Amino acid sequence: MTKRVLIADDEPNIVASLEFLMEQAGFEVKVASDGRAALGLVASFRPDLVLLDVMMPVKNGYEVCQQLKGDADTRGVKVILLSAKGRDVEVAKGLELGADAYVTKPFSTRELVAKVKELLGT
């Protein structure tokens, strides 16, 4: 069964490259441009993993992660937070809210795909 990945980021160039990478890696992909849209897609698309930008409009990545991990129906969805903010305090906050990984932008696309595959067991 094909694993599903939701990309939530408000930067079109990043979305385009992540979407291409994830599709090339064999995942079914949907995209959202803000936190509220991401939560709506989680309900309908039922992703196995969410690539979640921290700084987004409407609801930020921290809020979305906290909501996903706080709900019994979505607690098992893997979350990788993506952010240009890589200070220890931001990384710690993301992990405390339940993120499975925190990746700082700019990131190695090869390493990101490897992390997604690792978390999904593929």
Q: Compute the distance between CA of residue 22 and CA of residue 31 in angstroms, rounded to an integer.
A: 11
Predicted confidence pLDDT, tens digits, the chain (122 residues): 899 999 999 999 999 999 999 999 999 999 999 999 999 999 999 999 999 999 999 999 999 999 999 999 999 999 999 998 888 999 999 999 999 999 998 999 999 999 999 999 98
Q: What is the pTM of this model?
A: 0.95
Where in the sequence is the domain holding 60, given as residue range(s)?
4-120
Number of domains, the chain: 1
